[in-house]
Chains A and B, each alone.
Chain A
Amino acid sequence: MHLLRLALASLANRRFTALLTVFAIALSVCLLLAVERVRTEARASFASTLSGTDLIVGARSGPVNLLLYSVFRIGNATNNIRWESFRHFADHPRVKWAIPLSLGDSHRGYRVLGTTPAYFEHYRYGRQQPLALSEGRAFATDPFEVVLGAEVAEALHYQPGDELVLAHGVARLSLTRHEDKPFRVVGILGRTGTPVDRTLHINLAGMEALHVDWRGGVPARGGARIDAEQARRMALQPKVITAFLLGLDSKIATFAVQREINDYLGEPLLAILPGVALQELWSLMGTAEQALFVVSLCVVLTGLIGMLTAILASLNERRREMAILRSLGARPWHIAGLLVLEAFALTLAGVLLGLALLYLSILLAQGPLQAAYGLYLPFAAPSAYEWLLLGAILLAALPLGGVPAWRAYRQSLADGLSIRL
Chain B
Amino acid sequence: MPRLLLALPLALLTTLAQAEDAHHHHEPRHGEALAAHEHGSARLNLALDGDVLEIEFASPAMNLLGFEHAPRSDADRVMLAAARARLEQPLGLFGVPAAAGCQVREHSLHGALFEPTGAGGQEHSEIEARYRLQCSAADALQGLNLAALFGTFPATQKIQVQLIGPRGQQGLELSPERSGLTF
Interface residue ranges, A against B (CB under 8 Å): 51, 60, 250-252, 254-255, 262-263, 265-268, 273-280
A262 contacts B162, C-beta separation under 8 Å: no
A268 contacts B169, C-beta separation under 8 Å: no
Complex interface: chain A residues within 8 A of B33 (CB) = 60, 262-263, 268
B49 contacts A251, C-beta separation under 8 Å: yes
A268 contacts B49, C-beta separation under 8 Å: no
Closest to A263 in B: B33
**B173 smallest CB distance to A (angstroms):** 8
A192→B164 CA distance, assembly (Å): 25
Complex interface: chain B residues within 8 A of A278 (CB) = 171
Cross-chain contact of A273 among B31, B48, B164 (Cβ < 8 A): B164
B49 contacts A252, C-beta separation under 8 Å: yes
Residue B88 lies at the interface, judged by CB distance under 8 Å to chain A? no
How many of chain B's residues touch chain A, expressed as a range? Answer: 10 to 19
Closest to B56 in A: A255
Closest to A262 in B: B33
Complex interface: chain B residues within 8 A of A275 (CB) = 164, 168-171
Complex interface: chain B residues within 8 A of A267 (CB) = 31
A250 contacts B32, C-beta separation under 8 Å: no
Closest to A266 in B: B31
B31 contacts A254, C-beta separation under 8 Å: no
B32 contacts A265, C-beta separation under 8 Å: yes
A278→B172 CA distance, assembly (Å): 11
Complex interface: chain B residues within 8 A of A60 (CB) = 33
Complex interface: chain A residues within 8 A of B163 (CB) = 276
Residue B155 lies at the interface, judged by CB distance under 8 Å to chain A? no
Complex interface: chain A residues within 8 A of B45 (CB) = 255
Known: A51-B168, A254-B47. A273 touches B162 (CB 8 A): yes
Complex interface: chain A residues within 8 A of B170 (CB) = 275-276, 279
Residue B54 lies at the interface, judged by CB distance under 8 Å to chain A? yes
Interface residues of B in 25-42 (CB under 8 A from A): 29, 31-33
**A45 smallest CB distance to B (angstroms):** 16
Complex interface: chain A residues within 8 A of B164 (CB) = 251, 254, 273, 275
A285→B107 CA distance, assembly (Å): 38
Complex interface: chain A residues within 8 A of B54 (CB) = 252, 255
What number of residue pairs across chains A and B have CB atoms under 8 A from each other?
49
Residue B109 lies at the interface, judged by CB distance under 8 Å to chain A? no
Residue B104 lies at the interface, judged by CB distance under 8 Å to chain A? no
Complex interface: chain A residues within 8 A of B171 (CB) = 273, 275-280
A25→B21 CA distance, assembly (Å): 64
**A77 smallest CB distance to B (angstroms):** 19
B47 contacts A276, C-beta separation under 8 Å: no
Closest to B35 in A: A262
Closest to B48 in A: A251
Residue B79 lies at the interface, judged by CB distance under 8 Å to chain A? no
**A272 smallest CB distance to B (angstroms):** 9
A252 contacts B168, C-beta separation under 8 Å: no
Closest to B53 in A: A252
Cross-chain contact of B169 among A250, A265, A266, A276 (Cβ < 8 A): A276
Complex interface: chain B residues within 8 A of A252 (CB) = 47, 49, 52, 54
Complex interface: chain B residues within 8 A of A263 (CB) = 32-33
A278→B163 CA distance, assembly (Å): 13
Complex interface: chain B residues within 8 A of A274 (CB) = 169
**B44 smallest CB distance to A (angstroms):** 10
**A251 smallest CB distance to B (angstroms):** 4
Please name 27 pairs of A and B residues whose Cβ atoms are closer than 8 Å in the assembled complex, sorted by A: A51-B168, A60-B33, A251-B47, A251-B49, A251-B164, A252-B54, A254-B47, A254-B164, A255-B45, A255-B47, A255-B54, A255-B56, A255-B162, A263-B32, A265-B32, A273-B162, A273-B164, A273-B171, A274-B169, A275-B164, A275-B168, A275-B170, A275-B171, A276-B170, A276-B171, A277-B171, A278-B171
Closest to B173 in A: A283
A265→B33 CA distance, assembly (Å): 8
A252→B106 CA distance, assembly (Å): 14
A268 contacts B31, C-beta separation under 8 Å: yes
Complex interface: chain A residues within 8 A of B48 (CB) = 251
A1→B31 CA distance, assembly (Å): 81
17 more A-B residue pairs beyond the given contacts A255-B45, A255-B162, A263-B32, with a C-beta to C-beta distance below 8 A: A250-B49, A252-B47, A252-B49, A255-B47, A263-B33, A266-B31, A267-B31, A268-B31, A273-B164, A273-B169, A274-B169, A275-B164, A275-B171, A276-B162, A278-B171, A279-B172, A280-B171
A265 contacts B52, C-beta separation under 8 Å: no
Complex interface: chain B residues within 8 A of A254 (CB) = 47, 164
**A277 smallest CB distance to B (angstroms):** 7
**A178 smallest CB distance to B (angstroms):** 35
Closest to B164 in A: A251
3 tightest CB-CB pairs across the interface, nearest first?
A275-B169, A276-B171, A279-B171
Interface residues of B in 104-121 (CB under 8 A from A): none
Closest to B167 in A: A275
Complex interface: chain A residues within 8 A of B56 (CB) = 255
**B163 smallest CB distance to A (angstroms):** 8
A51→B171 CA distance, assembly (Å): 15
Closest to A279 in B: B171
Q: Which of A60, A251, A266 has the most CB of B within 10 A?
A: A251
Cross-chain contact of A265 among B31, B162, B168, B172 (Cβ < 8 A): B31
Q: Which of A254, A268, A280 has the most CB of B within 10 A?
A: A254
Complex interface: chain B residues within 8 A of A265 (CB) = 29, 31-32
Closest to A269 in B: B33
Closest to A261 in B: B33
A255→B45 CA distance, assembly (Å): 7
